[in-house]
Amino acid sequence: MLSVIYAMLFYVATAVLVVGVGMKIRRYARTPAPLKIPTTPAPTTAWGVVLRMFREVVFFESLFKANKWIWLFGWTFHMGMWLVLIRHVRYFVFDIPWWLSFVQPFGVYAGFAMLAGLLGLWARRVLVERIRYITNPSDHLMLALLVLIVASGLMMKFVAHTDIIAVKAFMLGLMRLRIETLPSDPVLLVHLTSVAALMIVFPISKLLHAPGVFFSPTRNQIDNPREKRHLAPWAAKLEG
């Protein structure tokens, strides 16, 4: 019964995540940008925009220029998160390729980087007065959920070990619409419940900045208003 409950939970969470994020991306893509508003100095070519977006997504360039301490905590958390996510790919493939084996030890300790980054970002929302003023209860709840996910994952690695072979069999079974037996370890159940909760709330949370950054006109526009007249698609139809 426990395996069935968690299987249904993850099917629902996956559906909510995929459909919800897909609808948000569709909304972002359809939202008109009537003005040229790239933050200067801005690139004047399409390849320049691509390079700028790469620096923004990978290195958090604008945040680095704005505040070094926030950049340090934010970049540490996000880069650690990517390593952890890549490490977790092993639970969804039968044969582990060499590059996935190579990243495993780095992914383990990236969990500590994630936790340090999260705690730093959380402390900022408590200790910095101007940030505390604009912080909502939902911000604290989201940070608490992320900390719970990371902390429970680290506990399974270093404190309360679980049967990862059975966990992998369960995940592979879900991908094939087959329910395998899930270990009933409390820490594992807390970890999986927290992950499913994050997947469900993701489409309605501030975490949507992940896909949203690619649709920001201050970042994705070419700075060429003098060379080329800018017309939003809806305005072009009116002129036509």
The mean per-residue pLDDT over the stretch 6-14 comes to 97
**Residues 116 and 168 sit within 8 Å (Cβ to Cβ):** no
Amino acid at 153: G
Q: What is the pLDDT of residues 107-153, one digit of tens each?
A: 989 999 999 999 999 999 999 999 999 999 999 999 999 999 999 99
pLDDT of residue 237: 64
> What domains sit in the chain, N to C, each tagged with a CATH number?
43-216 (1.20.950.20)
Can you read off the two tokens belonging to residue 190?
């807390």
Q: Are residues 27 and 211 in contact, defined by beta-carbon separation less than 8 angstroms?
A: no
What is the pLDDT confidence band of residue 34, given thresholds at 50, 70 and 90?
confident
Spatial distance between the Cα atoms of 232 and 221, rounded to a whole number of angstroms: 12
- φ and ψ of 35, to 5 deg: -125, 155
Average pLDDT, the chain: 92
Please tell me the predicted confidence (pLDDT) of residue 178.
94
Distances (CA, A) of 101 to 69, 87, 90, 192: 33, 8, 9, 23
DSSP letter, residue 182: P
Left (φ > 0), alpha (ψ -120 to 50) or beta: where does 238 sit?
alpha
pLDDT at 240: 57
The pLDDT-based confidence of 33 (bands split at 50, 70, 90) is confident
Tens of pLDDT, residue by residue over 164-208, are 999 999 999 999 999 999 999 999 999 999 999 999 999 999 999
pTM over cut 0.95: no
